[in-house]
Structure 1
Amino acid sequence: MQLAIALTRDDVDAAHARRRWLNIGVPSARNVRAVSLPRRLCWALLLLSSFPLHLVYNSAVLESQATTEYIVAELDAGFLDNPGAAVSALEANWTMIGENPNAKWPGYIEESHARRKYFRDYIVPNAAHWDNLTPEACASTYSGVMLTTHRNLILVVPHEDPPRRLPGLVDEVAHNSWMCDAGFSWNPECRPGRARFGVGDSARNLTPAEPAYCLAEPFRQQCDLEVYAPFIVTVIVCNAVKTATMLALFFVARGRSLNTLGDAITSFLKRPDLSTKGFGAYDYRPMLTLWEANAQPEPLMWERRKKRRLHAVSRRRFWLSWALFIVAVAIVLGLVIMAVATDSDSGRLTTSFSPSSFLVKDYSSVVGWDALAGASFASLVVLVNTPQVLFSALYFMYNSLLSCFLQAAEWNALSLKPHT
């Protein structure tokens, strides 16, 4: 893109005649108005074809993993030896966290009955054949961000005679908040023994019990390699546009552009610029003030002055770079705060900041908003990849900023030591 708007000597002379200054060897949108129409068109095509690539390139081919929705239930160990007794107790006295007999919203009663039927016909008869895990192993397995290897879970509490504890259920979607204390979202200790069963059941006065072990239903992990056709087409079209544009630019700009500071020095030594004659002793900003006003330069008394690289950059470029940097830092801090809040609610806060977590490659936190629940795949991909556009803008701004610094240092070095 920088080569697309690299100036020719004719472009420079035309701009200087109108007292407009331009940039050579530095990425600058200021040059766009000064170059020829074919070059402007090439620059616009390269710019416009870059946005779709930043947004969809990494998601055209992707790996998808199926996560599991699961039910967490608490059972007396005696019910596992006699599933029929569990079914009878279940029919006689059902307990479920959050079940509201006065609920009026559509589908609530039907959903409750369906969950009860699923528990009776599938979970109770098959639970004894599931993976037997210690509470610690259970907590480790179900505390991940996404659950891909297991689904339904039974917390088995010690047997009481007669059995007092009936099935209590919590419907969860790959989340481990049931391991934590209800009133202590910042409590780092989240484990199956803290599962909130019996809450609100004042008639039986049941409190959470420490499980002896867990029974976890194994789930065959499903992993697919998916190709999203609209994104593939977008990537192919954008790459084709870029290729054609670069070929056209090769023939349009070959051998005529002032691409580097050395090209500019060579050109002006061969044919001096009359509009800037007499301004050689002026600093950057005083020279621009007089030159743009078409004023004649006056003799200056030589003074030894120190200049920082900062003075080589225009105020607009400097403050725009800082503004983009602040926006990027603010976005990152906002996402970090959301991730910390998510880990806090699920009891993973201490684990998130433990030294070992920084050594795990795939450690992550899932954050989002309720409004994204019904979003399409394309919308989510664009949202997730939007930071890449911001970081690309940061790259161009800081590339331009550093190029100005280095170019000023190189120009100054020419006065200190001869270069050939």
Structure 2
Amino acid sequence: MQILNAPSRQEIDRAHTWLQSLDIGIPSIRNLSHVSRLKSASWLTFLITSIPIHLLFNSSVFETTYDGSQWYLTFATEAFTQGAPFFPPGASLLLAGSLGPDIGIGVYGEIGGYGEKVSVDQYWNASSIIRQKIESVAKESHSWTILSAEQCYSEYVSCNPRGEYGDVIFIINSTASEEGWKRSDIFTFDPSTNLSASWNPHIPPNAVNSLWFSAQCNVGRTKSTSGRDDTCTNVCLGAMGFDRYKFRFNETLPMAYEPWLIPFFPAVRHRDKSLFGKGLEFNDKFDLLHVNHCLAKPVQPSCKVGLSNALLLIVIVSIFVKAIQGGVVAWKLPSTSLVTLGDAIESFILYPDTVTLGIGTLSIADAQRIEVSRNSLVAPRHDNIF
């Protein structure tokens, strides 16, 4: 571009005949009107094709980082991670998502904030995905990272993406025994109902259950039009003791109890025992769950190099056009350009210019003479007609 912008000796002489000066040794846009059309068009082509290369090439290749939104939540005793027996859906008899299946053996109606919906047959089917997930958590969780209750609270009662920790077990201090809970201690079924016949084959009334509750969770962020009122959705906030599962993105939810005690059952929180259903009595002392600590599964971030095909195509086309134009210039450039001051000095010493001859040291008188000569060239001609 600097060579194309520099005038040749012929172009300088032509400009001098019109008493116009040109710039030597610097990029100069004003030279474009005095150089050949090939040089000016080529200079503009190089300029236009350089813009995408400089602005888009770095943007066409980029890095992506992993920000997960899915994680699995489990409430259990320490014995759950050490091979103790468990009976899904857990000692709470609480189904994730929809808290009560259609077959009428659940405990509650449908309430948000308790994870994604799971039907009761998935808990009792040994080959179902949810049952296999619970079993894998029981086998693997003993090797997960230990988090304090405070660390666990700040990590999961939030809209944080799952970049460092994923699945988590809240280790609960059971008020019944260290191993877990008995269904008969927590719930009393009315003999006139079929609740016992429905639950006994899957959760025996006097068997110790090391599992309390589990659910598939996810977090999400909803953008607002203003950008200041973004909302966060955490579908497991209800299971962690909150009456809602949506909150403002930058909002910090205070811990209800310290140490961390989770009021788990919504019926007790709202003092509405009708949520427990007919034929069922609940022992209120099992509502508050004391979180001793957590076991969180470390996440292996999956970072990748991304590529924008559209931006890269624009860059490739620009480079292709630039390469072709460079070949055209090398083939068709009519004469040598005076790129530096040394080139101009050499040319004017060897071939003096008649217009500028004798004014190598330009004085004020010379400048005035050139200005007068220029004005006489461009001044309108007046002919006297008699």
TM-score in terms of structure 1 length:
0.46
TM-score, normalised to structure 2's length? 0.49
Higher helix proportion:
1
- Structure with the bigger percentage of strand: 2
Bigger Rg, structure 1 or 2: 2
